[in-house]
Chains A and B, each alone.
Chain A
Amino acid sequence: MNIALEAPYLPLAGKRLRQETSRDDRIKFGLMAIIGLYLIVALGAPLFVMLSKSLSTYRFDLAAFEFQVSDGTGAKWGPVETADALNRKLGAVAEGDLASSTDGRLAATKFFPDFSFRSPVQYRIRGTTDDAAFLAGSTLEKGTEWREYDSGTFRRIMLRPARTLGLDNFKTYFSTPALARSIYNSVLMATISTVVTISIAFALAYGLTRSCMPLKGLFRGILAIPILVPSLLPGIALVYLFGNQGIFKDWLLGYSIYGPIGIVIGSVFFTLPHAFLIILTALSIADARHYEAAASLKASKWRTFTTVTLPGARFGIVSAAFVVFTLVITDFGLPKVIGGQYGMLAVDIYKQVIGQQNFEMGAVVSVILLVPAILAFAVDRHMQKRQVALLSARAVPYVPKPNVRMDGICLAFACLVSFFILGMIAMCQIAAVVKFWPYDLTLTAKNFAFDLMDGGGWTAYANSIKLALLTALFGSVIVFAGAYMVEKADAFRFGRNVFHFLAMMPMAVPGMVLGLAYIFFFNNPANPLNAIYGTMTILVVSTVTHFYTVAHLTALTALKQMDPEFESVAASLKQPFHRLFFRVTLPVCLPAILNIAIYLFVNAMTTVSAVVFLYAADTKLASVAVLNMDDAGDIAPAAAMGMMIFYTNVAAKLIHALFARGLLARTQAWR
C-alpha cells in the first residue's frame, strides 16, 4: 500500500545535511550543558562514587610490604623480610584485624617488638607492588623503591590498606542477621502502610468525588496538613499519645507504640496526602457517560463500582501505592523517633554512618534501599504512560446526585480521618505549650527556648528558613530552565533525553542515600568542589536535587500546554529565543513556577533525610533540630520546633496564595 515504505533508497546516503547552527542554538546548547552538568555533579557523580564505595573493601595486605633492619651501628643490614612473614612469626596482628576501612592505618612498629625510637637502628621499607602505600608522618609514599628511616621517623610509619573491588561488603551485610532483617522489616512496614493508606485515601477521594457531602473544600485543606510537617512530628505525637507516659497507652492492649505499630500509624499520617491527591485526580477524570451507560443497562451500584469506578481509577491507585511504598521505605525521620529497636533500612544507614562511622556499610545499605525505590519508580512510570492513553478529550465530567445515606457515611468517614490528622497536630501543639504532658498542663513558653537545648537553637530555625528560601529561588530557576530545554530545544535530541532521565532520577533516590553520596563525593579533598562541603550551598544543592523530579514534571506539564509552534513563529519573525522566553513563556508559566517555588520551600523546611548527613555546626536546621532534641530526650522542645516548621509552612502557603492571586490578576489578564 505504501510505496514510500517499499524502497527506502536515499541518494547521498551517509552525507546527511546538517543545519547551520544559529546563535540561539549555541546559547541553548550552553545553557543545557550547564544544567546538565549541574545534575551530573549533584546527582550522577555522587551516586556513582557511592556505588563504587559499596563495592570497595579495605584490607592491609602484609605481603605487599618488605622491611630491612640494620644493626646497632646503622651500617650493617639484616635480611629482607615481608611484613607477612614477620607477622606470622610474631602474631602481632590477628587475621580479623587486617580488615579495615578507607581511613585505616597500621603502625609499622607493630612488627618490631624490640623497637625503640631513640636507638641508632636504621629501617628500610618498600612495597612489593606499585600500589602498596604507607604514610611517613603525613606524606604518602608509594611504590617499590627502598626508603630508609631512622628510628625516630620509623615510629611514624603507618601502613595503608589496599582497596579491592568486590561484593564482600554485601556478603558481610547479608551475614549480619540484625542488618539483613531490616530488609524484611522495611518491606513489611511499607506494604502494610501502603494497603492501609490507599484504602483510606480511596474512600476519602471517593466521598469527595462521588457524593454530595458538605464541606469538601475544608476536608481537602485538612488533608494537605501532613505535607507541611516533618515526618518526625507524627512520631512525636504518637509518643505523647501512646508512649510510656501516653494517656491512651492502655488502648494498645499491652503492645508498644515503639515499633511496627507506631511506624504504620505515623506512615499513614504522612503519606495520606500524597495518595489522596493522586487518587482524587484519578477519580475526578471519570466520564459521566460511563455511569449513564451503566445505569441504562440497569447495573447495580456494586457492579457499577467494580466495572466503572475501580477500573477507571486503577492506574491512579497503582501509582499512589508505589508512591506510598517508596515514601515509607525510604523515610528516616519517623522510624528514628518511633521505631524503637525495630530495624529499618533508612535508619540503618544513619546508624552505620553517624553511629559507627562505617561508611562502606552505609553505602551497602543505601544500594539495597535503592533497589525497591527504583523498582517502584520504574513500574510507576510505566503505569503513568499507559494512563495517558485512557484519557479522552470528550469525556463529560461526572456530577454526583444527593443521597442522604451515602453522603452521611462519606461525611462521617471524612470527619474521622480529619480528626486523626488534626488530633496528631493538636497533640504536638499541646505538648509544645504545656509544662509536662500529661501531669502538669499549665501553659508555658519554655519549650520554645531552643537556645537552651542541643540541636541548634533559634539559629537552626533561621537557617531552615534561609535554606527554604534559597532552595525555592534557585530550585525554581534551575528546574524551569532545565524543563524548558527538555521541552523546547528542538535539536540535541540525545542530550535532551539524557537530561530528562537525570531529572527523573531523584524521585527514585531516597534522601538518606543522596546525603551519604554527597559525603563521599564532596567530602573528598581531591574534589575541586570540596569547598562547598559543610556550607549552606551543599544543603541547597542537595535539597534542590532531592525534590527535583516533581518540580521538573510540574514545569514540564506547564510547558507542554504551550503551543509548540511559538518557537517556530519567533524564529520566522527573527526574534531571539530569549525574547520569546521572557515575554511569553515565562509569564504564561508563572503560576506553575510559583507552585514549584512553594513546593520546594515546604519540602526544604520539613526534610531531614538528605541534610542530616550534610549540616555543619553553623548550618544546623530546624528539622534536624527536631530529630536531635528528640534523640536527646527533649521531646517537648522537639514538638515545639516541629510546630514552628508547621506555622512557617502555613504562613508560606498563605503568602503564596495571596502573592499568586495578586500577581495573576496583573499578569494573567488574558486568562
Chain B
Amino acid sequence: MRHALSIEPTPTSIPPTAADAASYLEISDLWKSYGDFVALRDISLSIARGEFICFLGPSGCGKTTLLRAIAGLDLQSSGKILQGGHNISTLPASNRDYGIVFQSYALFPNLTIEQNIAFGLENAGRSRAEIATRVAELLATVGLSEQSKKYPAQLSGGQQQRIALARAIAISPGLLLLDEPLSALDAKVRVHLRHEIKSLQRKLGVTTIMVTHDQEEALAMADRIVVMNHGVIEQVGSPTEIYSHPKTLFVADFIGETNQFPAKVLKDGTVEIGHSAFDCSTKDLVVGATATAVVRPVDIIPHGANAHAVNAVDRPATPQNLIDAEVREMEFLGMFWRTRLTAPRLGERTLVADFSVNAVRRLHIETGGVIQVEIPRDRLLLFPRSA
C-alpha cells in the first residue's frame, strides 16, 4: 500500500513556506463520489489565513461533504488538501488541526458545561489549574460564566451553541469549522449569535469555514462566500460581489430574489424582452443569442405617471428602459411593499417589484393604478441560455 505521507512532505518535517502563508487552506482538484453519484466535482479553492468563508448552497449541493472532507470525517475520492502548507489529504480526523461545531451541537449530555469545554484540554499535559483557568476564560468569552456547573439540557439552544463553540476553540485550533451552526435556533437568537460568532472570529483571527443554506447568514458573516450547486463551485466572491454581480443564473436566483425573462440579443447593448428592446450590457453575448434577463425586485425604480416629461424631477437614467405598468396586487411586508405588475412591453409575464413605503406614499401607487417603472440598465443582468 502506498501511503500519501511517503511521497508528500510530512507535517513535522517541512515548515510552511512563505508562499503558503498567504493561503492557509488550499484545496485542489477535489472529487467525491458515492457509487455513481458525484457529490463533489473538481473543487479547487484557496482560503487565506484568518478569513471567514461561507459554503452556501441548497441542500444536497455538496457543501457539507466538502466540509467533512476538510475535517477528515469523510475522505474525498481524489484530490489534495493543504493546511498551512502541510498535506493533510489522507490524515485521520484526529491528526488534523481544527475545531468543529455541528448543527446538533453534539454536547456531551452527562458532562457539565465546564467538563464539556475541558474535554479537549485534558490528556494534553496541562495541569488541572491551567485547564480550570482556560475553561473560565472561555466561559467568560462566550458570556456563560454563571452556567458552568449546569448540564447542557438545562441551557437554551443559543447557550448550548455558544458552549459548543467554546469547546471547539478551547484547543486553539488553526481552523474552525461550523456546520450549519445556527439553523436549529429561532430567528432572533440566530441574528444575535451570528453577530457574536463573527466578532469572536475576528478577535481570535481563526480561519473559519461555515456551512449554511441561509443566504442572509452568509451575506452578513462571510468575508467570502463560496456558492455551490450540484457538487460544483458556482462562484467565489465577497458578499457584495456575489449579490451584485452573480456570475451564473443559479447564483443570481439563489442569492436574493429575481424576475426572469427570456431575452434575445438584438445588437450590442440592446436586448429584446417580451415585445420591445431594452438597454443592457450584453457583455460577450453575440447578436441573436438567446439569454435569460434577470432583474431583482428591489432594483426596479418607480416613477411618477409622467416621468418622460421634460421637467420631471425624477427623470429616468435609461429612458429606453422605462415602461408603463399596471399594479395588479400589492402586499404589505412591513419594511416595504411587494407589488405584482403587468406591463404590455414585457408581454404576459408578471413583474415583481419591491417599493419602499415612502415611494408608495409619494407616488400614490395603489392596486389597479398605472405607473411607470424603470429597469436600470446596470441592474438588468443577462445570462446565456441554451436554446
Contact = CB atoms under 8 A, between A and B. Distances in A.
Contact of A4 (B39, B100, B119): B39
Contact of B76 (A17, A21, A574): A17
Given A16-B77, A572-B98, A574-B124, A11 B106 contact: no
Interface stretch (B107-115, B273-281, B330-338): B107-115
Contacts of A566: 106, 108
Given A10-B38, A569-B100, A575-B123, A20 B4 contact: yes
Given A571-B94, A573-B171, A574-B120, 19 more contacts: A3-B230, A4-B37, A4-B231, A5-B37, A8-B38, A10-B31, A11-B78, A20-B92, A20-B95, A24-B94, A25-B92, A568-B71, A570-B119, A572-B120, A572-B173, A575-B122, A583-B111, A583-B119, A587-B110
A583 B109 CA distance: 11
B110 A584 contact: yes
Q: How many B residues touch the partner, as a band? A: 35 or more
16 contacts: A5-B36, A8-B33, A11-B31, A20-B90, A563-B102, A563-B104, A563-B106, A565-B102, A565-B106, A566-B106, A568-B71, A573-B170, A576-B123, A583-B111, A584-B110, A671-B153
A563 B184 CA distance: 15
Contacts of A569: 100, 102, 106, 167
Contacts of A19: 72, 75, 90-92
Interface of B: 1, 3-5, 29, 31, 33, 36-39, 41-42, 71-73, 75-78, 89-96, 98-100, 102, 104, 106, 108-111, 119-120, 122-124, 151-153, 167-168, 170-171, 173, 177, 230-232
Nearest to B61: A4
B104 A565 contact: yes
B94 A584 contact: no
A14 B72 CA distance: 21
A573 B167 contact: yes
Contact of A670 (B29, B78, B104, B151): B151
Contacts of B230: 2-4
B232 to A, nearest CB: 8
Nearest to B35: A8
Interface of A: 2-5, 7-8, 10-12, 15-22, 24-25, 490, 563, 565-566, 568-576, 579, 583-584, 587-588, 667-671
Nearest to A590: B110
A128 B134 CA distance: 85
Contact of B89 (A10, A17, A568, A573): A17
Nearest to B38: A4
Given A3-B230, A20-B4, A572-B100, A10 B110 contact: no
Nearest to B98: A572
B111 A584 contact: yes
A582 to B, nearest CB: 11
Contacts of B36: 5, 8
Contacts of B94: 22, 24, 571-572, 574-576
Contacts of B38: 4-5, 7-8, 10
B274 to A, nearest CB: 27
A541 to B, nearest CB: 33
Given A3-B230, A5-B37, A10-B77, A571 B102 contact: no
A48 to B, nearest CB: 32
Among A8, A15, A19, A671: residue with most chain B CB under 10 A:
A19
- The 7 A-B pairs at the shortest CB distance, nearest first, are namely A573-B120, A22-B92, A670-B151, A571-B93, A565-B106, A571-B94, A4-B230
B41 to A, nearest CB: 6
B91 A4 contact: no
Contact of B4 (A17, A570, A576, A587): A17
Nearest to A22: B92
Given A4-B230, A8-B38, A670-B109, A17 B78 contact: yes
